[in-house]
């Protein structure tokens, strides 16, 4: 059980209503606005707040039984979600990972069936962990720019198709030697030292805070990265390492622009190269591996997309991931044009063209269903984007504005021009 009252205290119904499109007149006991919940709202006083702004009522077109309620009912109607999701949304807004409170049912001794508890809002690694991760990632970023990382930079450019704009946007780094850090520095008690392996450093960032750190290691003589930076021995052949107790989060989410289509790819490298070639066509994210599932915060972000295309590697693990995603709302699952998207690019594939066709397909499909006049503006937005994906209009129009809270906590992408495929 969440403490529903505690969340209600912290989240303003008025703020949410405004975010949904309400424009209030007056700040008295019962401010009114056009109704943000029903289509074609033109009466400027249809929607009222009452009970000290804790409840709302629509006096005009919202149907009986759906025209009155509290914070959670408002979110349910606004976001078209169930109660559980509405609570998770508000809990997230309250800015705290809420701990379970006492259940109001306890002690009653009844035989009522209890609803399963809402999914917890994840809180990420501890504060010290994040600070130490920040220090390590900042260090590695500086190293990547330095004299000692020429080969690592060549690897990123030649094998991964990633250049300075991507290094900056995703905070990539280079760690030149194995480090063994005291667990206490990461807020962890006891256990083995924290191993920070030599390799390419990739942080998983959520709202500018580091939740996990992956290091792509030169793991054997024949390894692709080792061809560039050399293999220095070592017992563990794993390709990826990094400090333990990191928490998975949707990679790339801080760079989302709120485009209509989200492309979910399997790994960070695929996400970064797709972002390079197609970030004005689709938003691009990755859960970092084929078997990671989205957490409650990721799901809230996914809710903002009209269409999600999940593409995972053409192998057994990828097949399992496809099975999971096929059961999710608004998700289409597809196979990549090669083993993975980086391979496709490496072999000369037109990655931008592939993303553009995919986005156009999804937008065409979405537009078929979008006939209600209530969605005229949405329709126009999607038609514009479709024309852009088809190459019918130029790319200079895509300076999008981040809408805090609506899609996520996006920072606008600020890197250089997106490379166009060679003719």
Contacts of 313 (CB under 8 A, 6+ apart): 266, 290, 336, 339, 340
Contacts of 50 (CB under 8 A, 6+ apart): 29, 30, 56, 57
Tell me whether residue 56 or residue 354 sits nearer to Zn ion (CB atom): 56
Tell me whether residue 231 or residue 375 sits nearer to Zn ion (CB atom): 375
Cα–Cα distance measured from residue 60 to residue 48, given in angstroms and rounded to the nearest whole number = 11
Task: Please state the closest distance from residue 60 (CB atom) to Zn ion, in A.
Answer: 6
Task: Please state the closest distance from residue 320 (CB atom) to Zn ion, in A.
Answer: 44
Task: Please state the closest distance from residue 67 (CB atom) to Zn ion, in A.
Answer: 6
Number of residues that bind Zn ion (CB under 5 A): 5
Phi, psi of 55 (to 5 degrees): -130, 160
Token pair, residue 15, equals 């703020």
Tell me whether residue 7 or residue 20 sits nearer to Zn ion (CB atom): 20
Cα–Cα distance measured from residue 217 to residue 215, given in angstroms and rounded to the nearest whole number = 6
* Contact string 23-62 vs Zn ion (x = CB under 5 A): ------------x-xx-------------------x---x
Task: Please state the closest distance from residue 35 (CB atom) to Zn ion, in A.
Answer: 3
Tell me whether residue 372 or residue 397 sits nearer to Zn ion (CB atom): 372
Tell me whether residue 74 or residue 211 sits nearer to Zn ion (CB atom): 74
Task: Please state the closest distance from residue 58 (CB atom) to Zn ion, in A.
Answer: 3
Cα–Cα distance measured from residue 418 to residue 255, given in angstroms and rounded to the nearest whole number = 15
Contacts of 184 (CB under 8 A, 6+ apart): none
* Contact string 59-98 vs Zn ion (x = CB under 5 A): ---x------------------------------------
Residue whose token pair is 């408002």: 74
Task: Please state the closest distance from residue 39 (CB atom) to Zn ion, in A.
Answer: 9
Task: Please state the closest distance from residue 25 (CB atom) to Zn ion, in A.
Answer: 16
Range 54-70 burial, b when 16+ CB lie within 10 A, else e: ebbbbeeebeeeebebe
Tell me whether residue 62 or residue 284 sits nearer to Zn ion (CB atom): 62
Tell me whether residue 60 or residue 328 sits nearer to Zn ion (CB atom): 60
Parallel, antiparallel, or unpaired for β 261-265 and 240-241? unpaired
Query: Considering only residues 169-188, where is the footprint of Zn ion by CB under 5 A?
Result: none
- Which spans of this chain sit near Zn ion (rule: CB under 5 A)? 35, 37-38, 58, 62
């Amino acid at each position: 059980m969440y403490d529903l009252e505690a969340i209600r205290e912290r989240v303003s119904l008025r703020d949410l209503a405004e975010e949904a499109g309400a424009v209030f007149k007056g700040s008295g006991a019962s401010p009114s606005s056009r109704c943000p919940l029903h289509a074609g709202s033109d009466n400027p006083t249809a929607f009222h707040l009452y009970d000290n702004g804790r409840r709302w009522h629509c006096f005009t077109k919202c149907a009986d039984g759906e025209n009155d309620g509290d914070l959670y009912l408002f979110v349910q109607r606004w976001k078209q979600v169930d109660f559980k999701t509405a609570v998770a949304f508000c809990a997230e807004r309250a800015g705290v990972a809420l701990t379970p409170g006492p259940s109001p049912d306890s002690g009653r001794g009844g035989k009522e069936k209890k609803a399963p508890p809402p999914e917890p809002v994840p809180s990420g690694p501890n504060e010290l962990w994040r600070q130490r991760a920040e220090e390590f990632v900042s260090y590695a970023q500086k190293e990547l720019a330095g004299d000692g990382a020429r080969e690592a930079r060549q690897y990123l450019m030649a094998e991964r198709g990633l250049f300075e704009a991507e290094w900056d946007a995703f905070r990539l780094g280079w760690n030149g030697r194995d480090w063994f850090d005291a667990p206490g520095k990461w807020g962890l008690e006891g256990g083995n030292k924290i191993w920070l392996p030599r390799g390419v450093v990739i942080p998983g960032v959520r709202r500018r805070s580091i939740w996990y750190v992956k290091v792509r290691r030169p793991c054997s003589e024949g390894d692709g990265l080792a061809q560039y930076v050399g293999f220095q021995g070592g017992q563990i052949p794993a390709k990826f390492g990094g400090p333990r107790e990191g928490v998975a989060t949707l990679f790339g989410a801080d760079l989302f622009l709120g485009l209509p289509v989200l492309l979910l790819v399997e790994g960070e490298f695929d996400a970064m190269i797709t972002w390079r070639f197609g970030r004005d066509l689709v938003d691009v994210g990755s859960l970092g591996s084929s078997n990671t599932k989205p957490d409650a915060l990721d799901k809230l972000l996914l809710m903002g997309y009209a269409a999600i295309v999940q593409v995972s590697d053409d192998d057994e693990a990828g097949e399992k991931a496809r099975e999971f995603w096929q059961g999710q709302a608004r998700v289409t699952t597809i196979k990549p044009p090669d083993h993975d998207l980086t391979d496709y690019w490496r072999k000369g594939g037109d990655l931008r063209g592939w993303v553009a066709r995919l986005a156009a397909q999804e937008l065409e499909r979405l537009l078929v269903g979008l006939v209600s006049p209530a969605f005229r503006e949405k329709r126009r937005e999607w038609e514009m984007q479709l024309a852009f994906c088809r190459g019918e209009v130029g790319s200079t129009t895509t300076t999008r504005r981040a809408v805090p809270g609506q899609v996520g906590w996006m920072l606008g992408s600020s890197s250089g021009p997106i490379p166009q495929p060679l003719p």
